[in-house]
């Protein structure tokens, strides 16, 4: 079995933003040479997420609005008593998830219809890292 690890680095323009990273993950899979296996894609920051969904601008806006309703910016979070001000970002990440695993078949990401990989940033505008680990034959 082969393994290959690479890192993607993202600095968002907005504090809260959702970015399609499918093509970057595909490039890592191609670089790995794995034809049959799987790829793990994981946000390496506690205020960011990696998830799978549809590439549609309105849906991305809906996610951000929905997350704000579930975990609004609020100065009364207990986490803020530690000197931090991003408790809502931690909660949003927990809702959206840390990572995804996608099958690789015939050297391609083996998605269902419309599926794409997204990076969700909830406390951004600084450099963040995503690990992409490819495993297989």
Q: What is the mean pLDDT of the chain?
A: 97
Q: Collect all residues with Cβ–Cβ distance below 8 Å to 112 and sequence separation of at least 6.
A: none
Quote the number of domains for the chain: 1
Rounded to whole angstroms, the Cα distance separating 36 from 100 reads 17
Distance between CA atoms of residues 101 and 37, nearest Å: 10
For residue 32, give the CATH number of its domain: 2.60.120.460
Predicted confidence at residue 75, as pLDDT, reads 87
Q: What digits encode the pLDDT tens for the residues 49-63?
A: 999 999 999 999 999
Q: Is residue 61 packed enough to be buried (19+ CB in 10 Å), middle (13-18) or exposed (0-12)?
A: exposed
The stretch 95-111 carries a mean pLDDT of: 98
Does the pLDDT at position 33 exceed 90? yes
Residue 50's DSSP bridge partners are 119
What is the extent of the structural domain holding 50?
2-136
Query: Residue 111 carries which DSSP code?
Result: P
Pair type for strands 17-20 and 115-121: antiparallel
pLDDT tens per residue, range 119-132? 999 999 999 999 99
Block residue for tokens 């015939």: 106
Task: Identify any residues that bridge with 54 across adjacent strands, giving them in sequence order.
Answer: 115
Could you tell me the pTM of the whole model?
Answer: 0.96
């Amino acid at each position: 079995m082969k393994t290959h690890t690479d890192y993607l680095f993202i600095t968002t323009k907005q504090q809260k933003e959702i970015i399609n990273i499918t093509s970057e993950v595909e490039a890592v899979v191609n670089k790995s040479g794995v034809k049959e296996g799987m790829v793990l894609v994981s946000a390496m920051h506690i205020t960011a997420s990696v998830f799978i969904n549809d590439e549609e601008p309105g849906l991305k806006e809906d996610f951000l609005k929905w997350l704000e309703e579930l975990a609004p910016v609020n100065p009364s979070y207990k986490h803020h008593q530690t000197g931090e001000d991003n408790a809502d970002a931690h909660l949003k990440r927990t809702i959206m998830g840390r990572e995804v695993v996608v099958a690789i078949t015939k050297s391609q990401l083996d998605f269902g219809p419309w599926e794409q990989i997204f990076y969700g940033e909830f406390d951004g505008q600084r450099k963040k890292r995503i690990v992409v680990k490819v495993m297989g034959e």
